[in-house]
Structure 1
């Protein structure tokens, strides 16, 4: 099982978590309209985190360890997306640690209280029938993850809602059984270091440092 990376540990000020892909031009019609065709199978997730901090001894050591864990992109990790602010929860929640350990201010794990499961759905499905409860209704834009049997933790975003049916992107990476849990509290995605990106270990006066990270969804075929 991949190691879980807690992005909130490094206090990144800017985090861009987005779905990217590829389209091709399908040609121009007689009316002059250019047809754009998606050829990426739904795209993949990319995460760019910048303006992070390694000011303390603990975060500095964690950053050093992470640089070797990522192994230049050879090793996949489970990245905690830290999206609880946009989860279906009232108020201003804290982003939780998956292992329920305290934060630096000694506050404990805070759950959104969201609990959802999905009906059985095939590979590449884009619509899920779900049931569950939450403090706030789903309105679209929420992120959740599913722990698949072979593909591990994968992240999905809700883009439409019709009753108990939600439309998601990207399409399901793997078929799911009835009763599959949808994780809104601690959504995570299996990723690896983006090609060409190198983790910097530079420090100021040998102690303080800033950090940045660029990761892409691990789309290598499971063993």
Structure 2
């Protein structure tokens, strides 16, 4: 079994895509027709495969051209992988700011003495944290605990699970139980949140242990370029480029 941990993560903010698309494909097979002539679908045991794309990225600065060329050098072989974040900031159980805009990540956090880094930047952390109970390979349901959420979970929520060998894998839920109170001490901090049992859109990619990390902010998935796709370096006038990146879940 391949190991897909410790991979680089695509810096999607740096690429500034104009459009994104993520989908789960191939979850069922045509199983013939019944006596009424109706199509019968057979669900595959592994579920569908995640596919995605970021289109019409805005590339102009020298560093942006350098970065897109590095991504191509790393990924064009089709045998190397990277963590691709799903930029689902607008959705999710995140707190909102004064403009009613969700805040999945807080930045500008100083050191313990109140100082920032030399360039004025600080640390960052997610506003919502979550972990899950132990679950077996190909589990269709999981139980998780979530803390810091501004609302109950919904069917539209994307999240990712950090598997011990398969690395980050992204999921959606299509049904869930009503939340019940959850209490836990994490990193020495007592937290109160909610516990849910979720039905996954595709089976769990690998067995996980109690307390496995679950991420709702920028959920990530191990992905590679699909067969036949490469990322060429193409430049227009004034050093403008608008590359499109396509991805398929890596195995």
Q: TM-score range by the shorter chain?
A: 0.7 to 0.9
Matched, 1:5 2:37: no
**Partners of 2:231 and 2:222 in 1: how far apart?**
18
**Partners of 2:55 and 2:150 in 1: how far apart?**
32
| Contact 2:81 2:250 survives alignment (8 Å) | yes
Matched, 1:145 2:177: no
Displacement after TM superposition at 1:22 (Å): 5.1
**Partners of 1:138 and 1:95 in 2: how far apart?**
14
Matched, 1:170 2:202: yes
Q: Secondary structure at the match of 1:66?
A: helix
Corresponding position of 2:102: 93
> Aligned to 1:32, which of 11, 32, 37?
37
Counting only pairs closer than 5 Å after superposition, residues 50-199 of structure 1 correspond to structure 2 as 50-91=55-96, 92-93=101-102, 111=125, 113-133=127-147, 134-163=149-178, 164-199=196-231
Q: Secondary structure at the match of 1:86?
A: coil
| Contact 1:73 1:195 survives alignment (8 Å) | yes
| Contact 2:159 2:214 survives alignment (8 Å) | yes
| Stretches of structure 2 lacking an aligned partner (at least 5 in a row) | 1-5, 110-119, 179-195
Q: Secondary structure at the match of 2:230?
A: coil
| Contact 1:6 1:97 survives alignment (8 Å) | no
**Partners of 1:204 and 1:170 in 2: how far apart?**
41
TM-score of the aligned structures, taking structure 1 as reference length:
0.86
**Partners of 1:29 and 1:129 in 2: how far apart?**
37
**Partners of 1:89 and 1:40 in 2: how far apart?**
33
Aligned residues: CA RMSD: 2.3
Displacement after TM superposition at 1:49 (Å): 1.5
Please identify the structure whose Cα radius of gyration is greater.
Answer: 2
Aligned length: 213
| Stretches of structure 1 lacking an aligned partner (at least 5 in a row) | 101-105
> Aligned to 1:200, which of 222, 229, 232?
232
Return closer, same or farther for 1:40/1:203 CA change in 2, 3 Å cut-off: farther
Return closer, same or farther for 1:95/1:73 CA change in 2, 3 Å cut-off: farther
| Contact 1:83 1:95 survives alignment (8 Å) | no
Question: Which ranges of 4 or more aligned residues in structure 1 deviate by more than 4 Å?
Answer: 94-98, 106-112
Q: Secondary structure at the match of 1:65?
A: helix
**Partners of 1:87 and 1:55 in 2: how far apart?**
31
Q: Secondary structure at the match of 1:4?
A: coil
Moved more, 171-180 or 66-75: 66-75
